[in-house]
């Protein structure tokens, strides 16, 4: 399957993507995680991305599209993929359309995770991420690690993302409404959008997502 996951910051895209990718046997491709990996390796791309991310803005399309394309061309993505955080504006969506068309392949669905603003703010405020792998995500209340500050998966140090400050979160939400939400209409026109509520337990949301994806549109 080829799926795009969309939803506001903190809706649980990364959390659900990890679980869905495992069940559906497809790679989870997160542009946010790819940028964070570049930041920790201190690459030129990482340095560039960090300045935009810390301000809550989108990283420029040119580098983002090139990075996403490069990842989608890896052998493990041949049979399908779950895109998390890409595309994030209409021009990225159009670039993805063109790439897929050139390859003669199509998206199966765009899964839209809906969550109210007060909930996503709570989720982001309590989020703690592993220094070794940004796919290892915890929450001080909703998903605490067994030992405070230590990742249950690999023993790495848990930290609060630099872009999870109150001010940056407000900016990220604004960017989501103005730049990312319009891609939902773009994909509605292609009949691809399935919308589910991201509220409730993590497991319940995964079940809802799988049902929506398998039940067609």
| Residue stretches of the annotated binding site for AMP | 31, 36, 57-59, 85-88, 92, 161, 172
C-beta atoms surrounding 175 within 10 Å: 18
Selecting among 71, 127, 128, 208, the annotated active-site residue is 127
153 binds Zn ion (CB under 5 A): yes
d(CA 115, CA 196): 9
d(CA 94, CA 215): 26
> Is 102 annotated as catalytic?
no
- DSSP secondary-structure letter at 58? P
d(CA 117, CA 119): 5
Selecting among 88, 123, 128, 208, the annotated active-site residue is 88
> Is 41 annotated as catalytic?
no
Binding partner of residue 132 among ligand AP5, Zn ion, none, CB cut-off 5 to 8 Å per kind: Zn ion
Q: Which residues contact 212 (CB under 8 A, 6 or more apart)?
A: 109, 111, 194, 196
Residue from 3, 4, 6, 15 in contact with ligand AP5 (CB under 6 A): 15
Active site residues: 13, 88, 127, 161, 172
**Residues that bind ligand AP5 in the complex, under the rule CB under 6 A:** 7, 9-15, 31-32, 35, 52-53, 56-59, 64, 85-86, 88, 92, 123-124, 126-127, 137-139, 142-143, 163, 172, 201-202, 205
């Amino acid at each position: 399957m080829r799926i795009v996951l969309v939803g506001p910051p903190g809706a649980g895209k990364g959390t659900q993507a990890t679980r869905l990718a495992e069940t559906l046997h497809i790679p989870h491709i997160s542009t946010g995680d790819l940028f964070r990996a570049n930041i920790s390796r201190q690459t030129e791309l990482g340095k560039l991305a960090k300045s935009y991310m810390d301000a809550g803005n989108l990283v420029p399309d040119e580098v983002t599209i090139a990075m996403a394309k490069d990842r989608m061309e890896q052998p493990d993505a041949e049979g399908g993929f779950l895109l998390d955080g890409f595309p994030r504006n209409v021009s990225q969506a159009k670039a993805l359309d063109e790439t897929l068309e050139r390859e003669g392949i199509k998206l199966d669905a765009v899964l839209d995770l809906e969550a109210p603003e007060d909930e996503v703010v709570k989720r982001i405020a309590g989020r703690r991420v592993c220094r070794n792998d940004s796919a290892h995500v915890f929450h001080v209340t909703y998903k605490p690690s067994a030992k405070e500050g230590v990742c249950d998966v690999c023993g790495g140090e848990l930290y609060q993302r630099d872009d999870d400050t109150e001010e940056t979160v407000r900016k990220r939400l604004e960017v989501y409404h103005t730049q990312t939400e319009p891609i939902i209409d773009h994909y509605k026109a292609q009949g691809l959008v399935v919308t589910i509520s991201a509220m409730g337990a993590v497991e319940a949301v995964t079940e809802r997502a799988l049902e929506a994806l398998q039940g067609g549109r």
